[in-house]
Chains A and B, each alone.
Chain A
Amino acid sequence: MFLQQLINGLTLGSVYALVALGYTMVYGILGLINFAHGEIYMIGAYLGIIYMGLFTLAGLTESHLLLSLFLVFVLSALTCAGYGMTLERIAYRPLRSAHRLSPLISAIGMSIFLQNYVMLAQGSSDKVFPHILPADPITPGGFPMSKIQAFIIAASFLLMAGLHFFIRKTRLGKAMRATSQDKTMATLCGIPIDRIIAITFIIGSMLAAAAGVMVSIYYGVVNFSIGYVAGLKAFTAAVLGGIGNLPGAMLGGLILGLFESMGSAYISTEFKDGFAFLILILVLIFRPTGLLGEKGVDRV
């Protein structure tokens, strides 16, 4: 029972971590809470179902299951990257020098828009993931972990490691770190900050899309309203780890996922969604910088 919950928590936590990275990256660079990020994740979940359905219709899933899964991830990530980029261009870039509240309200507006857009396009009822994956849990030695869970945890850690490498070792990553530290100075050094910000949104959206597809595989159902709560929780994870701090977002996501699965297993299922917000409030009261967020830490 406990081990089972631990694994459920880790699975959930790695999904939160992936979404939290998007929040934290955007906050690190723009100082903006991208309220619409949760909707990008929701769109990713829908795209997972849509592309998978398409491949099933085409008969690809029967012959090449892994290939079609891979393609679903890539296509969803690309589409969401388009959404994220367009979102930044329309709703945030014109407001970059505006009053502090303006981009926040614009973000809320965009979130409402995207949510209703998906509702109109896809209907308000739940969408179900095509049954193509073997769902039985593998239990070597009574280890209660299903293939899907193992895949989600492994893929998330791989993506996070990849992102870490990208930020630390590549030229583009360096430019992103520079932009987050000082935009004016970065411009003076010849860094095209508009493009860097767009790339930040693209990477964040791709991670959110991956998380969305994973969730649609894991739970098997999606709804147009999942983005709002998931976004809030992922944001909580980002704050918990120290907003603007990448390893912090990963850690925060995992902790939050564990808390939630333990809380709903041992305390109350009805207040499952409440734990995240309780943690958020407690963290902000006692340690507003988050677990890993110290002054002077590199932010992206």
Chain B
Amino acid sequence: MTKSLVSKKRLKVFLLLPLWFGLLAWPLMGWADAGSLTLVLMVSGITGGFIYRFFPYGWFGSLFGTLPFYSDLWRKRFEGRIAKSLLFSACGLLFTILPFFLNNYYLDILNLAVLYALLAIGLNITVGYAGLLDLGYAAFYGIGAYTYALLSTGLGLSFWLGIPLGGVVAAFFGLILGVVTLRLRGDYLAIITLGFVQIMYLCLNNWDSVTQGPNGIMQIGRPALGGFVFRTPMDFYYLMLVFVVLTAVAIHRLMKSQIGRAWIAIREDETAAEAMGIDTTRIKILAFVLGAGIAGVAGVFFAARYTFISPESFTFLESVRILSMVVLGGMGSLPGAILGAFLLTILPEMLRGLANYRMLIFGIALVVMMIFRPQGLLGKKT
């Protein structure tokens, strides 16, 4: 039995689809580029088709599917108590000794990854646990950073006071925003937070007398303990690591409490949760405020680490970046948020050669992720 090599479906996928994309790209890219795009799509499509024939699990499964597949497998394997504690000790040991094997460049990236892990943990509460799409997360991050930066340069505020203060100020803004908006439907919240990050950026950028506008704030105080000043990337690494671990443990415990269960209940079905006697508005505001507070603390760390901040670090794009870490790791998974933060900090560094295509790939990856694995790498299927 021989099948015809040319079928209607194949014609559509391998010929018409690339032609269609080429046609769309033609006015913007010109003849030559659009033509080569079409050819590239055809060739890669046909190559993919051949791989699909020879690999029983399909080319998508064998190429892109293995990572999620193994992560599922690993997750199941580590569900037991002993296995879990073993894994955590191994991770702990790795992260404790890792800085000794890295030069300053890699240590800096690692630092950034730990900072993003803190941000992702915070956003995971809002988006992952309570299911509130917060697109203005970078605004709270910025509020924390600017709070500490202004008080440190103006009043010489110590870092150790800056941490709670930055967190509280950011949480306060979160509270105001949450109280007025969380009564609304979910999508509206996304838009309001988006507007909020935009307004915050405009304020930081234009309110020159206080924030020094686009020039940013320089010479922010470093943290000091007794006579010891945290200066090198390694100092900061351990400082932040301790804080991230403490936060992660606290959140992990919180999720086992009544509040944590209430968040999950709201995410799964708000009406049902309300019927069970949960004060949904209050619980949602709590998730929002807690997330904002953690972002504020991360902002303080950021300001103290780089001793320079400017509005450019707290844009909508930064929000999206943190959000995609949570999405990639798996919404509602604490280890997932941390893994997502590490992957999305380290991978782009490795892809530096693709500089211009990075955001392009990033955008596509978000779409592909939502279509093929909406629960992320470590998230549970719902």
A residues with a Cβ closer than 8 A to B are 31-33, 43, 46-47, 50-51, 79, 82-83, 86, 90-91, 94-95, 98-106, 108-118, 120-122, 228-229, 232, 235-236, 239, 270-271, 273-274, 276-278, 280-281, 284-285, 288
Q: Is B83 an interface residue (CB 8 A)?
A: no
Interfacial chain A residues near B206, Cβ < 8 Å: 270-271
Establish whether residues A100 and B186, one from each chain, have CB atoms under 8 Å apart when the complex forms: yes
Interfacial chain B residues near A95, Cβ < 8 Å: 370-371, 374
Establish whether residues B320 and A108, one from each chain, have CB atoms under 8 Å apart when the complex forms: yes
Q: Is B11 an interface residue (CB 8 A)?
A: no
A46, closest chain B residue (CB): B28
Q: Is B33 an interface residue (CB 8 A)?
A: yes
Q: Report the separation of the CA atoms of residues A46 and B29 in the bound assembly, to the nearest whole angstrom.
A: 11
Chain A's nearest CB lies how many Å from the CB of B95?
Answer: 29
B198, closest chain A residue (CB): A277
Establish whether residues A281 and B192, one from each chain, have CB atoms under 8 Å apart when the complex forms: yes
8 new A-B contacts, CB < 8 A, other than A94-B371, A239-B188, are A31-B187, A83-B24, A91-B367, A103-B370, A106-B371, A109-B366, A109-B367, A116-B357
Tell me which of A100, A112, A284 contacts B363 (CB under 8 A). A112
Interfacial chain A residues near B184, Cβ < 8 Å: 284, 288
Establish whether residues B181 and A285, one from each chain, have CB atoms under 8 Å apart when the complex forms: yes
Establish whether residues A104 and B187, one from each chain, have CB atoms under 8 Å apart when the complex forms: yes
Q: Find the residue from A32, A100, A108, A277 having the highest chain B CB count within 10 A.
A: A108
Chain A's nearest CB lies how many Å from the CB of B284?
Answer: 15
Chain B's nearest CB lies how many Å from the CB of A51?
Answer: 7
Q: Report the separation of the CA atoms of residues A258 and B192 in the bound assembly, to the nearest whole angstrom.
A: 21
Establish whether residues A288 and B188, one from each chain, have CB atoms under 8 Å apart when the complex forms: yes
Chain A's nearest CB lies how many Å from the CB of B1?
Answer: 33
Interfacial chain A residues near B371, Cβ < 8 Å: 94-95, 106
Establish whether residues A110 and B192, one from each chain, have CB atoms under 8 Å apart when the complex forms: no
Interfacial chain A residues near B364, Cβ < 8 Å: 109, 113
Number of interface residues of B (CB under 8 A): 51
Establish whether residues B191 and A280, one from each chain, have CB atoms under 8 Å apart when the complex forms: yes
Given A82-B23, A109-B363, is A121 in contact with B181 using a C-beta cutoff of 8 Å?
Answer: no
Q: Find the residue from B135, B190, B199 having the highest chain A CB count within 10 A.
A: B199
Q: Report the separation of the CA atoms of residues A94 and B370 in the bound assembly, to the nearest whole angstrom.
A: 9
A111, closest chain B residue (CB): B363
A27, closest chain B residue (CB): B187
Interfacial chain A residues near B327, Cβ < 8 Å: 105
Q: Report the separation of the CA atoms of residues A276 and B199 in the bound assembly, to the nearest whole angstrom.
A: 10
Chain A's nearest CB lies how many Å from the CB of B107?
Answer: 29
Considering the complex, which residues of chain B in the window 281-310 have a beta carbon less than 8 Å from any beta carbon of chain A? none
Establish whether residues A121 and B366, one from each chain, have CB atoms under 8 Å apart when the complex forms: no
Interfacial chain B residues near A51, Cβ < 8 Å: 27
Chain B's nearest CB lies how many Å from the CB of A100?
Answer: 6
Q: Find the residue from B28, B135, B202, B324 having the highest chain A CB count within 10 A.
A: B28
Q: Find the residue from B357, B366, B367 having the highest chain A CB count within 10 A.
A: B367
Given A50-B28, A99-B374, is A105 in contact with B187 using a C-beta cutoff of 8 Å?
Answer: no
Establish whether residues B192 and A284, one from each chain, have CB atoms under 8 Å apart when the complex forms: yes
Q: Report the separation of the CA atoms of residues A107 and B188 in the bound assembly, to the nearest whole angstrom.
A: 15
Interfacial chain A residues near B135, Cβ < 8 Å: 108
Given A98-B370, A113-B363, A121-B28, is A86 in contact with B195 using a C-beta cutoff of 8 Å?
Answer: no
